[in-house]
Every structure is written in structure tokens, then in C-alpha cells.
Amino acid sequence: MSTDDEVRLCIVGAGLAAAGVADALREESVSVTVLEKSRGVGGRAATRRRNGCRYDHGANYIKDSDERTRELLQSLGTEGFADIDAPVWPFDSDGTISESERPEAHKWTWAEGITQLAKRLFGRTDAEIRKDTLVDALRHSSTGWTVTDTDGSTHGPFDAVVMTPPAPQTADLLRATEIHGADNDLSAAIDAVDRVPYRTIRAVMLHYPFEIDRPYYALVNDDREHDIGWLARESCKPGHIPDGEELLVVQMAPDWSTATYDSPLDEIVDDVADMAAQLLDEDRLRDPDWVDDQGWRYALPDAAVDSEAVAPLESYGLYVAGDWVVGEGRAHEALWNGVALGERIAGEL
């Protein structure tokens, strides 16, 4: 509940950038309302549960990028906090696997799944999260910002709005934004956001009633010439997979994912299982006992937005945040971009 002297902030989306903004403002006089289209938080840093298994089908872990990341993660509570011990090894277009020559870094996660990062960040704030709320339009007036969702409900007024969806969806929201006298600024921002290139990723999860013993946690295609981009063994994460079982998260390469994005799972799963079996040289993998999938049409940005083009919107109290603002599709980049913006908003508002 906001008071008269509080700044009223709306965050569109409840991914890691949004969680970073909210966390940075948790000790400020800012009332934060988060509008999230889905029923959960975390965006691509999400976890599913099925048949006694937990699996991270998008972002797999938080990279140990620096000391501040480690300190932030540990400040969220150490219960269930874990480091994935096994390494990530590369493979090439021929499927030849090589032992990694890179220094092994920490790969942080939780026994309850990577979604704990957003849940714990939001959980230590007073942010109000309104789920199942898909934003349709925004309007700026003398009383502030009002936000309308697809059900016709109006939220606000707010003093400022932060947009955190992927760039193409943010561009669509900007096209549905009204700011009196700001047509040129909006047009320039839309053009810049529209130009951010994205990779499409489709993940297929393959479960098996037996263990797979390998010296690595995951494999990554380092030349981007294989139909599989990433393959991970969820059994390497504490608390994820029951003993005696295995679940593979197979994230397909962008070209393959784009070509099959709308294909039903039962039409593509045999091909994926065959590719996984060939890559791991394990014929038993051709026959999983259950499967799942998830697609992200806008998964990973390949460049950053032109910051000079979106900066003029901030004079109206409209901000953007996310990995596409930085230009690197990493969970920790989205998080820290949100934190930096939250700190800046605290100083400006």
C-alpha cells in the first residue's frame, strides 16, 4: 500500500531484471507494482516440477561473474543453495566432445530450482506482483502513468514505468504508448528497440528411468554449427532428479528452433532424442519414458539497444531494463542491469 510521499513505480514483467529493480528499491520510499503476464516469476530463469523431478528449462544457473554476485546470492539465504560441481565441456559441428580448457567457474543454483532467485529477491521486497496480467497499453498524462491490460483493467496512476519484456515485445508496448508531445522520441525508441536481434530457442526435456554417468554436467556447441546448442544433465543439481533417474535439457540451436517452433512436440521429439543419443554415444537415449518442451521466440539478444535512442523516454518516467539493454543473454546481466536501474531511479525520483 502506497502513501502520499511514496513514489509509485510500475514494472512490466517479473523476470530477473524486474527483480533486480525491485530489490534495489526495497529500502526506498517507492511503492512497486509488478504486472506479469504468466503465473510465475523469473522469466527464462524458471523451474518446472513433474513426476518427482525439478528441472530448469531456460537459464540453467547463475554464472559466478564476480564477488558481488556471490554475495548477493548468499544474502538470499543459504538453504538449498548449491554449486554445480561437474564442468561444462564443448563439442563441435561433428559432435566431437572435448574436455574444457577454460578455468572452471562456479555455477550457482538451488535445490528447488533457478526460479528461487527471482522468488527470493521479490520475497524480501514489499513489491505487489499481479500475475496473469498482460499489459496492452500505456498512457502518460498530468496525473502520471496509467496501464491497461488485455482484460480491460486499468492500473495506476504511477510516477514511472519500467519495461522489462524482451525487446520485440517492448517495442510493441511502445507502439501502444501515448505520451503527449513525445511522438518523435517514441518513434526513435521504437526503431532502436526493433533493431535488437534475437535468437529463438526451443528446449526439449528428455527423462529416463536410469542414470547416465558422464564426467561433465553439460555440453555446449562452441562453433554454433550443430543442431543442438546446449545439453545439460539435471541430475548434477542437488535435489532435482531422484536417484537412479536422468533428465536431459536439450536446448536446440536457433535455426533448428525457428524452423520447428510451431511443430507439435510429438513430431520433433524422436529427432531430438536421436541427436542426444548420438552426441552422448548412448543408444538408450533414443527412447525417453516422458518428455516436455518449452519455446522462447525471443530467447537471447545478440546486441544491445542504442541507449541514446531510448534515453529521452526517461524524462517522462519511462525506463527499459533487461539483458537486451546490455546486449548479452546472461541471467546475471539481466539481474545487474535491473539493479543498476533501480539504484538510478532511487536517485532520480
Q: In 10 A of CB 141, how many CB atoms?
A: 12
| Per-residue pLDDT at 96 | 97
- pLDDT tens figures, 241-265: 999 999 999 999 999 999 999 999 9
Q: What is the pLDDT at residue 102?
A: 79
Please report the pLDDT score of residue 197 as a whole number. Answer: 97
Taking the chain (349 residues) in runs of 10, the rounded mean pLDDT of each run is 75 98 96 96 95 96 84 91 94 96 86 96 97 97 96 96 98 97 96 97 98 96 96 97 98 98 97 98 97 96 97 97 95 95 92
Interval 302-327: pLDDT, tens: 999 999 999 999 999 999 999 999 99
With CA atoms as reference, report the closest residue to 53 among 288, 331, 271, 332: 288
- SS3 category, 245: coil
pTM of full prediction above 0.85 = yes
Other beta carbons less than 10 A from residue 129's beta carbon? 20
**Predicted confidence (pLDDT) per residue in 202-232, tens digit:** 999 999 999 999 999 999 999 999 999 999 9
Compute the distance between CA of residue 312 and CA of residue 183 in angstroms, rounded to an integer.
11
Domain annotation for the chain: domains and CATH numbers: 7-43+119-196+304-348 (3.50.50.60), 61-111+198-301 (3.90.660.10)
Q: Which amino acid is at 324?
A: W
Please give the pLDDT value at position 258. Answer: 97
Q: Which residues pair with 98 in a beta bridge?
A: none
pLDDT of amino acid 63: 85
Cα radius of gyration (the chain) = 21
Query: Alpha carbon 104 to chain centroid distance?
Result: 23
Give residue 112's pLDDT. Answer: 95
Q: Distance (Å, rounded) from C-alpha 97 to C-alpha 279?
A: 8
Which cell numbers hold the place of 336? Answer: 545487474
Looking at residue 214, what is its pLDDT? 96
What is the C-alpha to C-alpha distance for residues 166 and 59, in angstroms, rounded to an integer? 15
Q: What is the pLDDT of residue 141?
A: 94
